Amino acid sequence: MTMKPLYLLGFALLATLASSPLTHAADSADDGWEKLSGGNDLSQWHGMPNLDPRKYEGTSDEQKAKWNQEVAEHWSIDGDVIVNDGHGAYLTTNEDYGDIELRLKYKTVARADSGIYLRGTPQVQIWDYTDEGKFAIGSNKGSGGLWNNAKGAPGKDPLVLADKPFGEWNDVRIIQVGSRTSVWLNDKLVVDHALMHNYWDRSLPMFPTGPIQLQTHGGEIQWRDVQVRRIGSEEANAILASHHDDGFESIFDGKTLDGWKGATADYEVIDGAIQCQKGKGGNLFTEDTYGDFKVRLEFQLPPGGNNGLAIRYPGSGNPAYVAMTELQVLDNTAEKYAKLDPRQYHGSVYGIAPATRGYLRPVGEWNFQEVTVKGHTIRVELNGSVILEADVSKIDEYMANSPHPGKMRTEGHFGFAGHSDPVRFRNLSIKELDE
């Protein structure tokens, strides 16, 4: 058996969250903000150097104690300001964070070089934009960029020079959803919804969670008004949907199955979403056909939920084989799926190419997914993290040695392949890509 895998949320909210400059600091925890500076201690922090965060738990207690001693020696509190002398382990939150909005202010000195680690990963760059000795590596472009991104990748260099003169406080605002990262420096957008690369393992997206770190790197730096707010799934999906959305056209009116055909009796519209009826299946697909395209959607999985996205489907037959592919929509956490082939888990090109696991939201929450189909390539971005990039024309080894005669199709319908589970889909839109 083949394992298969809202209407648009308030865009006024999106504009405020994703596009506005730095706003006033939060005053209390009641609005979701957690203060990480202020008071007279650093009890919310510990010491850790430039270290793959996956290795921290395996580090000896003796080594951890040494890093904490370095914090005691090189970090201090002066009123509401955290001060570092340019040496020692990095200040590292005790808590791990996933999707967040982070706000802080910093002030540094000439020739300093520092940064902000997100999920234990370097880094939003902070440095001396006048240091000619580092112009060759980008210091003249200013702070705020994702400096450890690959050369030429979006976000590596800031969009504008926004640093204030030495001696003045710089305001930083960061929104990170999945790997998608936006940075404002002194009210200017310097990184626009770029994928932050995983410095520790370039083959993986950013880790789903990890600590925030304030780096020290050879020059005094001061920090204040450090605060973080966790972003929930609804808000995260809205932020992802609001970016680079030109050219997308809705393929679902939120009320009916107009424009769809196939197993229409097996699906129903509930609360603005298309749902496969429990105990029923079949393939529901668009009347229109597509060649190269991007599709955006949200989906909600029940426990053990199983469905799939039919890509370039001819209109009959099993999409996993006769279409270009069926992309899995699956509850990876279900015990009954614990021993699947890697090419059967969520986001995978069924039986052909495995997706990276660990990036689904908890069962019952809405996930945001964007799929790009161009030529023989498929790219899946789930909740802001790229979990699959595959060229099916280069793959000739299949699960169970089963042939996939449709994988080289260049055009077909888009749809869903149900498997008796009440999986829901909403906010469906497609953008056709120019050849």
Q: For residue range 207-235, list pLDDT tens digits in order.
A: 999 999 999 988 999 999 999 999 999 99
Query: What is the C-alpha separation between 234 and 95, in angstroms, rounded?
Result: 22
Instruction: Pick left, alpha or beta for residue 366 (phi over 0 → left; psi -120 to 50 → alpha; otherwise beta).
Output: beta
The domains located in the chain, with CATH, are: 32-239 (2.60.120.560), 246-432 (2.60.120.560)
Q: What is the total residue count of the chain?
A: 435
Q: What mean pLDDT do residues 185-210 have? A: 98
Is the per-residue pLDDT at 24 higher than 60? no
pLDDT band at 281 (very low <50, low <70, confident <90, very high): confident
pLDDT score of 322: 98
Cα 239 → chain centroid:
11
Furthest-apart CA atoms within the chain: distance in Å: 70
Query: What is the C-alpha separation between 92 and 117, in angstroms, rounded?
Result: 9
pLDDT score of 435: 60
pLDDT tens, position by position, 369-403: 999 999 999 999 999 999 999 999 999 999 999 99
pLDDT score of 30: 59
Q: What mean pLDDT do residues 67-88 have? A: 95
Q: What backbone torsions phi and psi does residue 122 show, to the nearest 5 degrees? A: -75, 145
pLDDT score of 11: 34
pLDDT score of 112: 84
Is the per-residue pLDDT at 17 higher than 50? no
* 57-69 core/surface letters (b: 16 or more CB in 10 A; e: else): eeeeeeebeebbe
Instruction: Pick left, alpha or beta for residue 102 (phi over 0 → left; psi -120 to 50 → alpha; otherwise beta).
Output: beta
pLDDT score of 37: 87
Is the per-residue pLDDT at 421 higher than 90? yes
Return the percentage of the chain with pLDDT > 70, whole number.
Answer: 92
Q: Are 36 and 228 in contact (CB under 8 A)?
A: yes
Supply the DSSP symbol for 119.
T
Q: What mean pLDDT do residues 344-367 have? A: 98
Is the per-residue pLDDT at 260 higher than 50? yes
Cα-Cα-Cα-Cα dihedral of 393, 397, 305, 290, to 10°? 20
pLDDT score of 359: 98
Is the per-residue pLDDT at 192 higher than 70? yes
Query: What is the C-alpha separation between 121 and 99, in angstroms, rounded?
Result: 14
Supply the DSSP symbol for 156.
S
Is the per-residue pLDDT at 13 higher than 80? no
Pick from 210, 178, 222, 232: nearest CA to 93: 210
Pick from 400, 86, 83: nearest CA to 219: 86
Omega of the bond leading into 227 within 30 degrees of 0 (cis): no
pLDDT score of 218: 81
Q: Which residue has the higher pLDDT, 158 or 281?
A: 158
Is the per-residue pLDDT at 204 higher than 80? yes
pLDDT score of 26: 40
Contacting residues for 62 by C-beta, under 8 A, at least 6 apart = none
Pick from 427, 11, 99, 422: nearest CA to 249: 427
pLDDT score of 292: 98
pLDDT tens, position by position, 84-136: 999 999 999 999 999 999 999 999 998 888 999 999 999 999 999 998 889 99
Q: What mean pLDDT do residues 272-281 have? A: 95
pLDDT score of 157: 97
Give me the DSSP letters along 158-226: -SS--PPPTTSPEEEEEEEETTEEEEEETTEEEEEEEEPP-TT-TTS-S-SSB--EE---SS-EEEEEE
Is the per-residue pLDDT at 22 higher than 80? no
Average pLDDT over the chain reads: 92
Token pair listed for 93: 């939150």
pLDDT score of 389: 98
Is the per-residue pLDDT at 3 higher than 60? no
